Amino acid sequence: MKYTIIGNSFAGVFAVETIRKVDPAGAIRVIAEEKEPAYSPAMLHEYLSGVAGKDLLYLRPSDFYEKHGVETVFGSSVTKIDTKNRTLSLSKKKMEYERLLIATGGTPFIPPGIDGLDKFDNVFTFTRKSSVDSMMKKMKGVKSVVVLGAGLIGLQCAEGMAHRGVKVSVVELADSILPMALDDDAAKLVLKELHEEGVEVLTGNTITKINGKGKKINSVTLKSGEKIPCEMVVVAVGVRPNVDFLKDSGIKTDRGILVDDKMQTNVKNIYAAGDCAQGLEILSGKRMPLPIIPIATAHGTIAGSNMAGKGRSYGGGLSLNALQFGGLQLVSYGFIRDEENAEVLKEGPSGEVYKKVIIKNGKITGVVLVKDIERAGLFRYLLEKRVPVGKFKEKLLARDFSVAHLPKKVRDSMFTKPV
């Protein structure tokens, strides 16, 4: 059997490893736009700050592809998939495929209406190592940076820049930061931590113009009319599933590529995984993109297994975030702002400790933990397994809350392996 994987991050790597376990002899080819071996985008801010070297950035050792018998086609983009003839169009050639995995991740969203966005050298996005390498090469003389976007990518970039000793201002159109990962109380604690690290965040505003002379930036103009001096701009508004090249392929897409519980698309022998895929979300029962690493690894594992002929089903994913800013650790699960018709349990915020649990119909639908995250795994289990918590809900925020407070039936299910 011949396997082709488009994409070379978490989903692709886990698919390779799973395929090779099931099929030691099949031919595996990985096609990727970047020339780099697989690395973790989540580590780019540590790489930028100098905390993490390349040894921590890359997902696998340098001999990973050779050991797994993988043919690599790096530095090439797939521009079209012909599902009828089973061919892939690259920039200068075509390739045939038998079983195909699309794991192309996301592409940065560039908001319209910013005057001067394409006129200057020091404007970057922050989702690829090549962009970060270019940024670091041009840091000489840069004393201040403006980051557009206060999502995870933007804030991680800002923190990395601050650790380099650069003055950083983050501009965010929304009224809060990280709205999918944090509620307002948790966001305030993060803002306090970022301020102590030297990062200033301006919400309810955006960049309308980038100013400068020649190719050099000297400031940005905000919607409010305020000007912020800077020598570099990073656009980190967000990412979108990278699916534009699938136009006219017959592969069904919505916000991402639609897949079933085998991670297969509507076209036989074509699968999708990771940030570009739209798989099941367990709380809502809907299919939606969940661009987080644990989901990508699960997608890749399930897809690889099914591609190689060992049937496995994907039970669905959960929105989850494990974050750290400075010394502040945070974990959130589920829909953390969906409080309508819900019972909300809270502790804090006080002394930077904050806990919130949202309960609907007797089951947890959202959890936020700041600093006190020791029982994060237990909360995740209760949420993912849809465990009724009514009988012990008064213990959920207790400092001694543990497995011992759960009903015996739940405890037994946690520690009994399925036959």
Quick one: average pLDDT of 132-144? 95
Query: In the prediction, which pLDDT does 415 show?
Result: 80
Quick one: average pLDDT of 313-326? 94
- Total-model pTM: 0.93
Return the sign of the alpha-carbon dihedral for residues 226, 229, 231, 235: negative
* Closest by Cα among 5, 3, 4, 2 to 276: 5
Query: In the prediction, which pLDDT does 16 show?
Result: 98
Class of domain 338-414: alpha beta
How far is Cα 177 from Cα 159, in angstroms, rounded to an integer? 14
Q: What percentage of the chain has pLDDT greater than the value 90?
A: 91
Report the Cα 4 to chain-centroid distance in Å.
Answer: 23
pLDDT at position 240 over 70 = yes
Domain boundaries along the sequence of the chain? 2-107+240-307, 123-237, 338-414
pLDDT at position 419 over 50 = no
Query: In the prediction, which pLDDT does 417 show?
Result: 58
Note whether 123-237 and 338-414 share their fold: no
Residues 6+ apart with CB under 8 A from 125: 108, 110, 131, 234, 235, 236
Query: What is the layout of strands, in order, in the sheet containing 199-203?
Result: 123-124, 232-235, 144-148, 167-172, 199-203
Residues 6+ apart with CB under 8 A from 378: 401, 402, 403
**Superfamily for domain range 123-237:** FAD/NAD(P)-binding domain (3.50.50.60)
Query: In the prediction, which pLDDT does 213 show?
Result: 96
Confidence category of residue 91, pLDDT binned at 50, 70, 90: confident
Instruction: Take residue 208 and report the two structure tokens written for it.
Output: 């309308």
Quick one: average pLDDT of 261-282? 97
Per-residue burial over 241-279, b if 16 or more Cβ lie within 10 Å, else e, is bbbebbeebebebeebbbbeebbbbebebbbbbbbbbbb
2-107+240-307 belongs to CATH 3.30.420.40 = no
* Closest by Cα among 234, 121, 128, 106 to 172: 234
pLDDT at position 117 over 80 = yes
Quick one: average pLDDT of 386-404? 93
pLDDT at position 384 over 90 = yes
